[in-house]
Amino acid sequence: MIDQYYCDKNTYCKNQSGAVGISGIKYDKIIGTFSAQPIHLACSKEIPCIDVDLINIQLSPSIGYNNRGLLKQALCSNSYGKSEAPLVPSSIDYCLRSVGGPVRRTERSHEHICSTGKY
């Protein structure tokens, strides 16, 4: 979770999200449950989160999770980067953005062994 709009008070807090830049974040091989939202990246419009990687994330609702039968969608506000399968739930797949629009996941490549010898 990244939240540049976080406020630790029960009253109104002035938005000061433009003070911190967040970049180079990598979420990889995360398997577990969620109780509120599967992904929450609330970044500043003035200084967005950039170079965020969402790779191999597999999250399911926790036991007792109840949102009237509807799963909350992943939230990526002003967040830019790439995502790679597998991604569960599927809303993570379309969460991040690129400069030109939403980023679609790329398939994870398989490792290949190359021989340097002659054939």
Residue 36 lies in a domain: yes
Beta bridge partners, 59, equal 32
pLDDT at 116: 41
Residue pair 43/6 in contact (Cβ under 8 Å)? The answer is no
HSE-up (13 A, CA, CB side) for residue 8: 0
User: pLDDT of 37-96, one tens digit each?
Assistant: 899 998 888 889 999 999 999 999 888 766 665 668 899 999 999 999 999 999 999 899
Residue 11 lies in a domain: no
Range of the domain at 81: 23-92
Alpha carbons 6 and 41: distance in angstroms, whole number? 11
Residue 115 lies in a domain: no
Q: How far is CA 38 from CA 3, 11, 41, 94, 110, in A?
A: 14, 26, 10, 13, 26
Residue 15 lies in a domain: no
Element (H, E) at 40: strand 40-42
C-alpha closest to that of 89 among 115, 118, 54, 116: 54
pLDDT at 99: 60
pTM: 0.70
Residue 119 lies in a domain: no
Residue 111 lies in a domain: no
Residue 54 lies in a domain: yes
Q: Which residue has the higher pLDDT, 18 or 57?
A: 57
Residue 104 lies in a domain: no
> How many domains does the structure of the chain reveal?
1
